[in-house]
Structures are given as C-alpha cells and as structure tokens.
Amino acid sequence: MNTFAIAWDSIWHHRTRSFLTALGIIIGVFAVVTLTSLGSGVQQYVNQKFAGIGANLITVAPALPTSHSHSRHRSHPVGNGAAFQAVPSTLTAKDVHALDHSGTKALRSAAGVVTVPMLIAKGTTSSSAGIMGVSYPYYGMQRMTAKAGSLKGSGVVLGSSVAHDLFGKSSALGQHVTIGTKTFTVTGVLKSVSGAPGSDPNNTAYLPLSTAMALSNQTTVSEIILAASSAQNVNHAVTIANRILAKSHPSHNYRIITSQEILKTVTSTTSVITDFLAGIAGISLLVGGIGIMNIMLVTVSERFREIGIRKALGARDGDILVQFLTESVLLAVIGGAVGTILSGLATHILGKAVGIPAGLTVGSVATAVLFSIGVGAVFGVLPALRAARLMPAEALRTD
C-alpha cells in the first residue's frame, strides 16, 4: 500500500469530515480564482476598448502652466464652452492647424474638439444629444463613417441615435434642425459605432469646428486629438507636438496624454483592486488552511496507536511525516480542484451576464493549484511533525 493510497483511504474513511475540511479550501480557492479571473477579464475588456479607440491617439488638453505663473487663469474661468473644465482652455484653432500640418510622417493628423453646451431640436422635438464641434480628421480617428451624406459638409452631422430620435425612420439628410438659436441643415448621418466607456458617439451631433466655436462664442478648443502614424510612433509624435506647441505656449500650459498612459492608469487601478480583493479572498484560504491543520491534528491524535505500530515495524520519522503530509496536501488539492471547477463555472456565467471576457486563465488555475498545495503543505507540517516525532513507546502505551 503506497503513501498516496494510505492517504486516500484515510480521507475516504472520514468522508464527511474530509468534505467539511475541504470546504474551507473550496471556498477560499473559489474566491481567489473567481476574483482574479474577473479582474483579468475586466482588464482584457478595457484593453480591447482602448485598442478599438486606437492606441495611436494622443490627447492634448489644457493645463495650468508649469514654467510660469499665470494667476489670471486660475481666477477667471473662460466662457461657456470651458465651463465644465477645471482648467481654462488655452488651446486655439491655430494650434490645431499647426499640429495638423506638422509636415512629419509620425504626426499624421490633428483634430480640434469643442463642446457646445446647447440643445439640438427639430421644431418642438428636442433631443438629449450632446453637441460637439470637431475638425474633419476627428471622424477618421474615431473610425466614424457616414451612413448618408458626407462628413465634410458645412451643416450638422448626426449620430445614429440622434437621427433616429429626431427623424425616426425617415431620412434626416437635407432636413433642418435648430441648435441654440440657429438653424442648420443636416449634411451627414453617421453609422452606429461603439465608443469608449463614458461617452456615446451615437447620441452626439457634430458641427464643423469653426462653426461650433462661432456658435458658442468660444475662442479656444476643449482639446486636440492627435493621430500618430502608428502606436509605435506615439512617443515620436509627442515630441513633435511638444516642439510645435512650445512656440505658442512658452508657459507649457497644456498636457499631453497618450492612450497608453490612460490604459496604464486604468490597468494599474484595476490590478490594485483585483489584488486587494484577492488578498481579502486569500484570508478565507488561510482560514481553510487552519481548518486542515486542525483536522490533521485530530487525525494524528486519533492515530497515535497506528503511528506507534508503524514505527515499531520500522517506519522512519520521514515515512510518517510523508504519510501525514500527503494526506493534508491531498485534502487541500481536492478542495482546490473543486473550488477551481466551481470558479470556472461562476466566472463563465458572470462574464456572459456582464459582457466581459471572463473565464479561467492558465494563470488563475496555476495560482489555485500552487496555493492549495502550499496550504496543504504549510498547514500539514505541524501535525505531520507531531506524528513523526512521536516515540513509539508513548504511542503504544495509550491502550
């Protein structure tokens, strides 16, 4: 009878007790694996979304000056358009033009964006849509294409849900809408797109940048989006943009955010949260391990006689140690396996429900296996040592 068979025999002999002991590990491993799997699912989801927007995009946003103090900017927020922003904008249409005509390959194009705080309506029917002014390259950067009309016209371009809200199934093209007090002709309708989290490009109406600035009486743009020729050229494009902007912004009152940076921030945030939750879940694994130690101590004292007989028959301390360690590790691994299977089911179902690509990963399964072996070994050592060090004479005297 080998060590494994002895261990299994003992576990099977005390089925109920073994199951309850393993339950601690099942719950612990389930919690750890589920949380890490969901965490990596969320991360994958975020990565996909960012890849969809384009890893080659760079945002230039206004910022407080870093080289000189311009106190007037702090106390006088500029007009309507910049009202949502903590920092007044200093970026102008000139900057957009200069960046869009950089003459370099790395910095392919630039688009200015302004937010227009007005409502769009058709007659008395108004819409909840947001209004943005964008220069033409913006559509390409966001992978927006026209379903009807053109994106280069001088009128308004409607997002798919705006068009539907205002015109139903009839064609919006050539129709008139009012934005604020002025009337515009619809010159384009966009195909439905999926956008970055937090914005809905389908529920937005787009005006040409200069039209929007004039309409809302703004002299600055909210931000400028730059497109590098590829994701690898982002850093090069940033250098070029800095050189161009340095001329008109000696106080460096802008900041450049690459989508890599945003991704990094989001990634590190989600991984901190995941680790934190997994750590809490790890506590339940610890509790499970203590359960194993407890039951193994009981097993050892129940089997004093058996240990004594085995030692009298020539079992070395190591033989006894291995026998009891095998039992605790086997118990933990069974718990770990069941926990992992349950976790696989749970993450699959949850992932489907929430719409993120969650499921067991090689990493999470490896973690679970190592964790349960580790827990079984660590918490089995004390009882196993106690068994191994038992003097055979003592063990046999307990008649």
Q: For another protein, which stretch binds (CB under 8 A), given 62-70, 78-86, 156-164, 313-321?
A: 313-321
If the CB atoms of residues 79 and 392 are measured against another protein, the closer one turns out to be 392
- Kindly state the smallest distance separating residue 347's Cβ from another protein, in Å: 40
373's tokens: 């072996």
- Kindly state the smallest distance separating residue 309's Cβ from another protein, in Å: 5
Dihedral in degrees, nearest 10, Cα atoms 317, 318, 324, 329: 160
Binding to another protein by residue 5, rule CB under 8 A? Answer: no
Question: With contact defined as beta carbons under 8 Å apart, do 296 and 329 qualify?
Answer: no
Residue type, 165: D
Q: For another protein, which stretch binds (CB under 8 A), given 112-120, 167-175, 337-345, 389-397?
A: 389-397
Binding to another protein by residue 302, rule CB under 8 A? Answer: no
339's tokens: 């926990």
Q: DSSP string covering 334-367, please?
A: HHHHHHHHHHHHHHHHHHHHHTS-----HHHHHH
Binding to another protein by residue 261, rule CB under 8 A? Answer: no
176-179/120-122 β-pairing: antiparallel
Q: For another protein, which stretch binds (CB under 8 A), given 43-51, 123-131, 324-332, 386-394?
A: 386-394
Q: Exactly one of 272, 319, 366, 370 binds another protein (CB under 8 A); which one? A: 319
Residues 19-38 that bind another protein (CB under 8 A): none
Q: Exactly one of 23, 175, 306, 346 binds another protein (CB under 8 A); which one? A: 306
Give Cβ neighbours of residue 181 (< 8 Å, ≥ 6 apart): none
Q: Exactly one of 187, 311, 364, 387 binds another protein (CB under 8 A); which one? A: 311
Binding to another protein by residue 317, rule CB under 8 A? Answer: yes
- Kindly state the smallest distance separating residue 331's Cβ from another protein, in Å: 18
Q: Exactly one of 283, 290, 354, 391 binds another protein (CB under 8 A); which one? A: 391
Q: How far is CA 219 from the centre of its chain?
A: 36
CA distance 222 to 102: 20
**Nearest Cα residue to 84 out of 112, 116, 59, 120:** 116
CA distance 19 to 22: 5
Binding to another protein by residue 14, rule CB under 8 A? Answer: no
Q: For another protein, which stretch binds (CB under 8 A), given 106-114, 279-287, 316-324, 360-368?
A: 316-324
Q: For another protein, which stretch binds (CB under 8 A), given 54-62, 141-149, 304-312, 334-342?
A: 304-312
What does the longest C-alpha to C-alpha distance in the chain come to?
A: 102
Q: DSSP string covering 46-89, please?
A: HHHHHHHH-TTEEEEEE---SSS--HHHHH---SGGGTT-SS--
Residue type, 230: S
- 10 Å Cβ neighbour count for 327? 29
Count of residues touching another protein (by CB under 8 A): 21
Give Cβ neighbours of residue 6 (< 8 Å, ≥ 6 apart): 323, 326, 327
Binding to another protein by residue 275, rule CB under 8 A? Answer: no
Q: Exactly one of 191, 316, 352, 366 binds another protein (CB under 8 A); which one? A: 316
Question: With contact defined as beta carbons under 8 Å apart, do 131 and 81 qualify?
Answer: no
- Kindly state the smallest distance separating residue 297's Cβ from another protein, in Å: 21
If the CB atoms of residues 9 and 261 are measured against another protein, the closer one turns out to be 9
- Kindly state the smallest distance separating residue 319's Cβ from another protein, in Å: 6
Q: Exactly one of 246, 272, 273, 393 binds another protein (CB under 8 A); which one? A: 393
What residues line the site for another protein (CB under 8 A)?
1, 9, 13, 305-306, 309-319, 391-393, 396, 399
